[in-house]
Amino acid sequence: MALIRVTKEFRFEMAHALWNYDGPCRNVHGHSYILYVTFAGEPENDPDSPRNGMVIDFGDLKKIVHDQVVDQFDHSLMVSGQAPAEMIESYRKHFSNVIVSPFQPTCENLVSDVASRLAGMVPPGIFLHSVRLYETATAYAEWYASDN
């Protein structure tokens, strides 16, 4: 059998603010994120299985990513827990879905967080190969299992 990679694209809207940053991204602003998740493994080789020929059912992949990432991040505001408590409280007062993260919510840190959320949800026999997160149409960060 051959090792095959399967990838699914996801989209979500999220705002963030970079605490203590010296550029305009210190202000609350939003992005239309595009997320690519790639799992790898050998396709199932059992003619009696409903998943014969599949590495992972795309429906299962979709459910995992929606449960762990998209449904939590979509239409939220993510801010760093390092920001002053009064600033975080102000965000909570003005926005209904605030995620206070233990890290600065950069694209680089977000892609690593997404990989961590998904790695524990991978079905037996396959592995999380890579995660690519576009923050804008021309800028993205990538995580590869082989690098970690």
Number of structural domains (the chain) is 1
**What is the Cα–Cα distance from 34 to 139, expressed in whole angstroms?**
10
pLDDT digit of tens for each residue in the chain (148 aa)? 699 999 999 999 999 999 999 999 999 999 999 999 999 999 999 999 999 999 999 999 999 999 999 999 999 999 999 999 999 999 999 999 999 999 999 999 999 999 999 998 988 999 999 999 999 999 999 999 999 9
The domain that contains 23 carries what CATH number? 3.30.479.10
Find all residues with CB under 8 Å of 24, minimum gap 6, and list them.
none
Give residue 13's domain range. 4-147
CA 32 to CA 123: how far, in whole Å?
Answer: 29
Residue 9, C-beta contacts closer than 8 angstroms, at least 6 positions apart: 34, 35, 36
CB-based contacts of 86: which residues, under 8 Å, 6+ apart? none
Check: pTM over 0.85? Answer yes or no.
yes
- C-alpha to C-alpha distance for 15 and 28, rounded to whole angstroms: 7
